[in-house]
């Protein structure tokens, strides 16, 4: 099994709000963010012994090993013929008997989320997304299972009942639920009815959510990434969507460049003719990491002998729950699919309760 340790100290700052898609960047805000992250990093140093003593880390290691083994069994079921004809000689240093602490220990893998200068989150968030963990639907590409564990930065304890959502583009760089220039074929109106690679989950008592998604493709001017929003005090509606509450964080998570290159060599990623923006040239990563010590990348392990078998990825996130942000959106998810909304430039999610069309699933 391949194993790449990609994340040492990861600070997923909400400055990503300001630069989620092409737009204005304020250097003063960037300086504020770096200063905040340095101070929060110092505060979070005390969390390591607390997480160890409370057993949070040990339980995370065991949970991640179980996840990998579960999804590996599914890979073996999918590819029995190949397994029967393949050599099973152990040629890699990680085996099924490797201690979980060796494979999954995230002693330095703590991401810091918290207050930072506000900004735009980009046009591709859709309020009203469905509560679900399996978000691949029928999209082709490299399957990925992502585990995120959320830790309270103030108490160093897991955060239960925290709503977190994730969204990303498909293998050819298209986001579902909306039609826009720069989002695939702008004439494909049927994309409004598609919901792939979007979902919301609530953390369990260990502060954990898991999503079954895909490795995202790429589009112009951005490196490969996922988006995240965290909600507190939101209400679960009968139609399995959220309403109300507050948003303490919006951000992005990234993959290692060498892994991206390996994925982009496979189908259907390799059908995308748009030039790839490498991590080193992505302005969001630049703002996130410059002078802050940030390294906002997922750790991962291969689920099989080849990349097409899929990946398991994980990240631990320390959240400052005192932060409040108002994410920008131009479309919402409704009973009829994605629908454009006017007058949302302030990005106040509280407008969802009274300002969306009557057809919205969050109304």
Query: pLDDT-based confidence at 284, cuts 50/70/90?
Result: confident
Q: What residue has token string 């300001």?
A: 18
Q: Is 92 helix (H, G, I), strand (E, B) or coil?
A: coil
Match domain 29-75+102-339 to its CATH number in 2.60.130.10, 3.40.50.1370, 1.10.3720.10, 3.30.465.10: 2.60.130.10
- Residue 311: beta bridge partners? 144, 302
With cut-offs at 50, 70 and 90, classify the pLDDT of residue 115: very low
CB 357, CB 339: distance < 8 Å: yes
Confidence of residue 297 (pLDDT cuts 50, 70, 90): confident
User: What does each C-alpha distance from 238 to 160, 338, 339, 362, 363 come to in angstroms?
Assistant: 21, 19, 21, 10, 11
Q: If you average pLDDT over residues 295-299, what whole number do you get?
A: 79
Those residues with Cβ within 8 angstroms of residue 10's Cβ, 6 or more apart along the chain or in another chain: 109, 110, 111, 112, 294, 295, 296, 297, 315
pLDDT of residue 328: 82
pLDDT band (50, 70, 90) for residue 86? very low
Which residues, other chains included, contact 262 with Cβ-Cβ below 8 Å and sequence gap of 6+? 307
Q: Which helix (H) or strand (E) holds 213?
A: strand 208-214
Asked if 13 contacts 33 with a C-beta cutoff of 8 angstroms, the reply is yes
pLDDT confidence of residue 26: 56
Q: How confident is the model at residue 287 (pLDDT cuts 50, 70, 90)?
A: confident
| C-alpha 99, offset from chain centre | 27
Parallel, antiparallel, or unpaired: how do β-strands 311-319 and 143-152 relate? parallel
- Give, rounded to a whole angstrom, the gap between the first and last alpha carbons of the chain: 46
Q: CB 237: neighbour CB atoms within 10 A?
A: 15
- The length of the chain in residues reads 363
Q: What is the CA radius of gyration of the chain?
A: 20
pTM of the model: 0.72
Q: What is the pLDDT of residue 240?
A: 96
* 295 contacts 5 by C-beta, under 8 angstroms: no
CA 131 – CA 63 distance, rounded (Å):
22
């Amino acid at each position: 099994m391949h194993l790449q340790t990609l994340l040492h100290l990861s600070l997923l700052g909400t400055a990503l709000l300001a630069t989620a898609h092409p737009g204005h960047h304020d250097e003063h805000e960037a300086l504020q963010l770096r200063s905040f992250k340095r101070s929060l990093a110092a505060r979070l140093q005390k969390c390591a012994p607390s997480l160890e003593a409370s057993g949070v880390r040990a339980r995370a290691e065991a949970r991640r090993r179980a996840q990998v083994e579960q999804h590996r069994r599914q890979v073996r079921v999918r590819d029995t013929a190949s397994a029967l004809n393949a050599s099973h000689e152990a040629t890699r240093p990680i085996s099924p008997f490797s201690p979980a602490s060796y494979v999954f220990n995230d002693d330095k893998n703590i991401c810091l989320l918290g207050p930072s200068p506000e900004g735009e989150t980009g046009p591709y968030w859709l309020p009203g997304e469905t509560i679900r963990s399996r978000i691949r639907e029928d999209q082709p590409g490299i399957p990925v299972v992502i585990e995120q564990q959320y830790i309270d930065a103030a108490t160093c304890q897991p955060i239960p009942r925290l709503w977190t959502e994730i969204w990303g583009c498909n293998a050819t760089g298209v986001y579902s639920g909306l039609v826009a220039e720069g989002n695939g074929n702008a004439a494909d109106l049927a994309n409004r009815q598609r919901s792939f690679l979007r979902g919301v989950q609530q953390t369990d008592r260990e502060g954990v959510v898991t999503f079954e998604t895909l490795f995202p493709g790429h589009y112009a001017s951005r490196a490969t990434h996922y988006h995240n929003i965290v909600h507190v005090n939101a209400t679960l509606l009968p139609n399995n969507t959220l309403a109300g509450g507050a948003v303490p964080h919006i951000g992005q998570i990234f993959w290692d460049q060498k892994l991206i290159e390996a994925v982009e060599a496979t189908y259907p990623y390799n059908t995308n003719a748009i030039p790839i923006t490498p991590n080193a040239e992505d302005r969001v990563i630049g703002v996130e990491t410059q002078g802050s010590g940030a390294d906002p990348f997922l750790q991962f392990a291969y689920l099989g002998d080849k990349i097409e078998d899929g990946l398991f990825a994980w990240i631990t996130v320390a959240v400052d729950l005192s932060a409040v942000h108002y994410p920008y959106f131009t479309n919402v998810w409704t009973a009829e699919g994605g629908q454009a909304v006017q007058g949302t430039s302030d990005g106040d999610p509280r407008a969802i309760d009274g300002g969306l069309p009557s057809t919205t699933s969050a109304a």
